[in-house]
Amino acid sequence: MKMLKLALRSLRNRRTTALLTISTIAISVALLLGVEKVRSAARDGFANTVSGVDLIVGARSGQLNLLLYSVFRVGDPTTNVSWESYRKIANHPDVAWTIPISLGDSHRGFRVMGTNGDYFKYYRFAGDRAMRFTAGRPFEDLYEAVLGADVAKQLGYPVGSKIIIAHGIGNVSFAEHGDKPFIVVGVLERTGTPIDRTVHVNLEAITAIHIDWQSGMQALPGARIGADQARALNLTPQSITAFMVGMESKVMTFTMQRAVNEYRQEPLLAIIPGMALSQLWSLVGIADTALMIIAALVVLSGLLGMLTAILTSLNERRREMAILRSVGAKPRHVFALLIAEAGMLASTGVAAGVALCYGLVFLVRPLLEHRLGIFLDLGGLTHYDFAILGAIIGAALLMGALPAWRAYQNTLSDGLTIRV
């Protein structure tokens, strides 16, 4: 205890250098913790892009390909799933609900997805968060559309806007379904998922806008079917791109997955979203590892700054050490004094860094949630965080051992000798 008091007084006498060292450590610790929190939030957000869905079923290809086009709207399927197969699986007694997905069209670079009302009822993200509307309501009529937050913001579409869906998924399309316009009836809240960049329409509307198209070309003007005429026709789709499945019991998930993968009527693939997301994150999560390495190097530079400050002050403190020795302090006491100073600097810097990190998280949390869909948790430090902070303090004590050893080796006469 006396050694700690002596170390505290010694740091007070060099308060300017001590404060600069503490500030350096605090900033580096705040950066490291901040990167870890953002990294964890991004990873959790990535894993929670879709929640509560037990299986995703599509044409047989690869599970990453199925995940990418059904959830992230990236890429295209090798083929579609027949409506008969979809209905057979959807009517299975172990299946609680299904969400059909039909892709292939776009609007000014944004993907258009055909689905039904169960999409808004059962789809979850970020754990158990349901989609909510900032304006309007879900679609009900055949030619109604619901926009994701990014679509509405970037294109400036309020509720009531009229939009034209284009054939294909290019940013620029010369084939549009202009004879069957849609009315925007709802705008979703930002989710930080591909929902934000999607135009949602009725599944039967996808059939309606293609009912007079053959081989990617619309029928001649005299043979075209108008929007009102299409309402009277049977608009049940012949096939869909994929569909999501919710099971009555989670225990039956693997049994249903195996049954779908062994389905004889057509080649189908059923994937478990969580497992596929983990596999995808292992491929794209290299960047977050690089960020952690950079943040760790910043912390290392802060600790090296502390070491430099203590080493450079040793020559100025030769007389102080000699006086301590002359009043009875032993070399081990001098060694312990410098170790205690390093520990105090590091501990204070770590505590200040934690406070700074939480302050910054509190300030930027609404911005990250609104702009990027990253939901930062303001909860307490995790066991991993405590391990990191403990490692930083331990590294500081090890670094402090170098100047402490040098001071330990200095003799009493060395401190009292005037060097010219």
pLDDT in tens, 58-117: 999 888 899 989 998 888 888 999 999 999 999 999 999 999 999 989 998 899 999 999
> Confidence band (pLDDT; 50, 70, 90) for 187?
very high
Instruction: Say whether both 125 and 254 belong to one domain.
Output: yes
Q: Does residue 82 share a domain with residue 42? A: no
Residue 268 predicted with pLDDT over 90: yes
Instruction: Determine the distance from the C-alpha atom of residue 345 to the mean position of all C-alpha atoms in its chain, rounded to a whole number.
Output: 34
Residue-level pLDDT at 192 = 80
Structural domains counted in the chain? 2
Arithmetic mean of pLDDT over the chain: 82
- 6 CB-near residues (< 8 Å, 6+ apart): 337, 340
Predicted pLDDT at 93: 94
| pLDDT for res 171 | 60
Listed residue (397, 261, 299, 288) closest to 342, CA to CA = 397
Q: 62 and 36, same structural domain?
A: no
Q: How far apart are CA 418 and CA 28, in angstroms?
A: 39
163 plus 229 within the same structural domain:
yes
State how far the Cα of 37 lies from the Cα of 366, in Å rounded to an integer.
15
- pTM score > 0.85 for this model? no
- Which of 271, 294, 316 lies at the terminal end of a domain, its last residue? 271
pLDDT, tens digit, 9 for 90 and up, residues 394-418: 888 887 777 767 665 665 455 445 5
Is there a single domain that holds both residue 59 and residue 40?
Answer: no
Range of the domain at 248: 55-271
Q: Are residues 185 and 317 in the same domain?
A: no
Domain contains 277: no
Same domain, 214 and 296: no
**pLDDT at res. 404:** 66
- 145 within some domain: yes
Whether 326 has a pLDDT exceeding 70, the answer reads no
Residue 88 lies in a domain: yes
Tens-digit pLDDT profile for residues 212-259: 776 666 665 666 788 888 888 999 999 999 999 999 999 999 999 999
Query: In this predicted model, what pLDDT tens digit does every residue of 335-384 receive, in sequence order?
Result: 777 777 778 888 888 899 899 988 888 888 777 766 665 667 677 787 88
Residue 6 sits in the same domain as residue 100? no
Q: What is the pLDDT of residue 314?
A: 59
Determine the 3-state secondary structure of 76 from DSSP: coil
Residue 215, helix vs strand vs coil: coil
